[in-house]
Amino acid sequence: MPVNSVDRCVEDVWACVAHLGVDVTTDVVERIAREHLLALACSAPLFDPPG
């Protein structure tokens, strides 16, 4: 996964956690971002492109 995608995910998680009023710690952000990135990496494509 590209580094800029990982960076964006971490930034988005940080903003979401803060918006929800949860104490923002690196541990919380790391765990949520890791789970999200793993889900993206393990997900199957929605369709098989022609070719």
pLDDT tens, residue order, the chain (51 aa)? 789 999 999 999 999 999 999 999 999 999 999 999 999 888 877 777 676
Residue pair 13/30 in contact (Cβ under 8 Å)? The answer is: no
Query: Quick one: pLDDT at residue 44?
Result: 73
Query: Quick one: pLDDT at residue 17?
Result: 96
Query: Quick one: pLDDT at residue 51?
Result: 66
Q: What angle do CA 7, 14, 6 make, to 5 degrees?
A: 15
Query: Quick one: pLDDT at residue 15?
Result: 97
- Give the max Cα distance, the chain: 48
Query: Quick one: pLDDT at residue 30?
Result: 96
In whole angstroms, give the CA distance from residue 26 to residue 35: 14
